Amino acid sequence: MNDILLLKLGEVVLKGLNRKGFEQKLVANVRRRLLPIGNFRVYCMQSTIYVEAQEDSADMDAAFEAVQQVFGVVKVSRAAPCEKDKDAIAKKAIEYLREDMLRAKSFKVESKRSDKSFPLSSIQLSQYVGGELAEAYPGCAVDVHEPELVVNLEVRDLAAYVHAAPVDGAGGMPVGSNGVAVTLLSGGIDSPVSTYMIARRGVRLIPVHFFSFPYTSEQAKEKVIELTRLLTAWCGRMDLEVVPFTHIQEEIRDKCPEEYFTLIMRRFMMRIAERIALDVGAKAIVTGENLGQVASQTMEAMASTQAVLHMPVLQPLVGMDKEEIVRLSRKIGTFDTSILPYEDCCTVFTPRHPRTRPTVAEVEKAEAALDVDALVEEALRGVERIPVRNE
């Protein structure tokens, strides 16, 4: 028999009467993630998702890597199934874990028996298979306290399974299980990380990018498309909404006090993001703001920009330091793209002395010279939607 992937569920198992819906969403996400890789059978039993290749051309190595990036999965094991018989299990362990046993200097066996009709207890099965392995591989000593290798045996409803230590999955909740949000995606380090963190809580995301050509280049736009593509490995397929922002920024430059440029710009971003959110059925806006990191991210500044909204703003990075954010950026694979030297619209017309502790009334007065509604409508008419897929 070919080997199989066992995906262990995390928070989903704590759900009550609606648990089935979360499991179904997770199974659907795993199937979608594996679709470009090959033909796999994916099903859920006993708080575990099973992935079985249905044809020889299916790439099990690629599947093993891919499912580690599916939110809702906490552990992934590549296992060999066999008959629910102690001798069959021992024989399979000896064959399947040959390279691991030859490489390790010590081992122990851990067994889980969800099929209570199996005649041996978990301890008895571990002792029996451990003895057979010790005899087959005399160079690998038994060490039940600090073994180099842990041999895992699982006796389940359909079969028994043998595998070495599982690897970590992405954790979190299945994408799509906690609604939809719009995420503001710049070309920097922070916003891809905030997008990842909210997707990890089960939210399907619509990325929105504000593009100020010719002040920002086509390369800057391509950079954001690439960041979106990298995020699809974690977040699933997304439609990037590119908002033309040049005219709005020029109007702010020409008609508003310089110290309020950034604050007024961000208020426009929030208004436009909310309109897009309403159009797609999203219930929140995600930003990469980090308290105190720049002048527009003081408590007063964030209050003034969010005052135009009627839906919640999710700020997963607000209490993190830059090193933590960079570390996460490297982990999810966006860092090298984020640091490419193509500037986004936030660097256009940056004030020399930005207002850091404004009141809402002050900012409203500063933007009063603008036809806000007309500028928002103009920008929305020019939105370009770019489907981005992880295939």
Residue 8 predicted with pLDDT over 60: yes
The pLDDT of residue 2: 77
Residue 350 predicted with pLDDT over 90: no
The pLDDT of residue 12: 86
pLDDT tens per residue, range 255-301: 999 999 999 999 999 999 999 999 999 999 999 999 888 878 899 99
The pLDDT of residue 344: 75
Q: DSSP string covering 83-139, please?
A: -SSHHHHHHHHHHHTHHHHHH-SEEEEEEEE--TTSSS-HHHHHHHHHHHHHHH-TT
| Tokens found for residue 45 | 């039993």
Torsion over CA: 200, 32, 96, 130 (sign): positive
Asked if 206 contacts 241 with a C-beta cutoff of 8 angstroms, the reply is yes
Parallel, antiparallel, or unpaired: how do β-strands 73-82 and 40-45 relate? unpaired
Number of other CB atoms surrounding residue 39 within 10 Å: 12
Averaged pLDDT, 332-338 = 96
Q: Which of 46-60, 101-115, 258-272 is predicted with the least confidence, judged by mean pLDDT? A: 46-60
| Tokens found for residue 390 | 């992880």
Q: What band does 16 get if pLDDT is binned at 50, 70 and 90?
A: confident
Residue 391 predicted with pLDDT over 70: no
Name residues whose C-beta falls within 8 Å of residue 366's C-beta, 6 or more positions apart in sequence.
256, 257, 260, 263, 264
Asked if 304 contacts 291 with a C-beta cutoff of 8 angstroms, the reply is no
**CA dist 264 → 180, 182, 190, 245, 356 (Å):** 26, 20, 21, 13, 13
180-184 sheet: strands from edge to edge = 313-314, 285-286, 180-184, 204-211, 238-244, 384-388
Name residues whose C-beta falls within 8 Å of residue 344's C-beta, 6 or more positions apart in sequence.
186, 187, 188, 209, 210, 212, 216, 220, 224
pLDDT tens per residue, range 140-190: 999 999 999 999 999 998 999 999 989 999 999 999 999 999 999 998 999
Alpha helices of the chain — where are they, by DSSP H?
Answer: 19-34, 60-67, 86-96, 98-103, 122-136, 190-199, 218-235, 246-255, 261-280, 299-306, 322-332, 335-338, 360-366, 372-381
Q: What band does 193 get if pLDDT is binned at 50, 70 and 90?
A: very high
Residue 347 predicted with pLDDT over 80: no
What amino acid is encoded at 321 in this protein? D
Averaged pLDDT, 318-336 = 96
Residue 87 predicted with pLDDT over 70: yes
**CA dist 362 → 253, 264, 269, 304 (Å):** 17, 11, 18, 9
**CA dist 96 → 3, 197, 370 (Å):** 9, 37, 70
Q: Following CA atoms 196, 198, 201, 203 in sequence, which dihedral angle do they give, to the nearest 10 degrees? A: -100
The pLDDT of residue 39: 93
Parallel, antiparallel, or unpaired: how do β-strands 40-45 and 48-53 relate? antiparallel
Averaged pLDDT, 106-129 = 95
Backbone φ, ψ for residue 112 (5° rounding): -130, 130
- Cα of first residue to Cα of last residue in the chain, in angstroms, is 29
Nearest alpha carbon to residue 224 among 380, 212, 284, 152: 212
Q: What is the mean pLDDT of the chain?
A: 94
Could you give the domains of the chain?
1-80 (3.30.70.1510), 84-158 (3.30.2130.30), 180-388 (3.40.50.620)
Q: Which of 25-29, 102-106, 119-123, 212-216 is predicted with the least confidence, judged by mean pLDDT? A: 212-216
Compute the distance between CA of residue 47 and CA of residue 204 in angstroms, rounded to an integer. 23
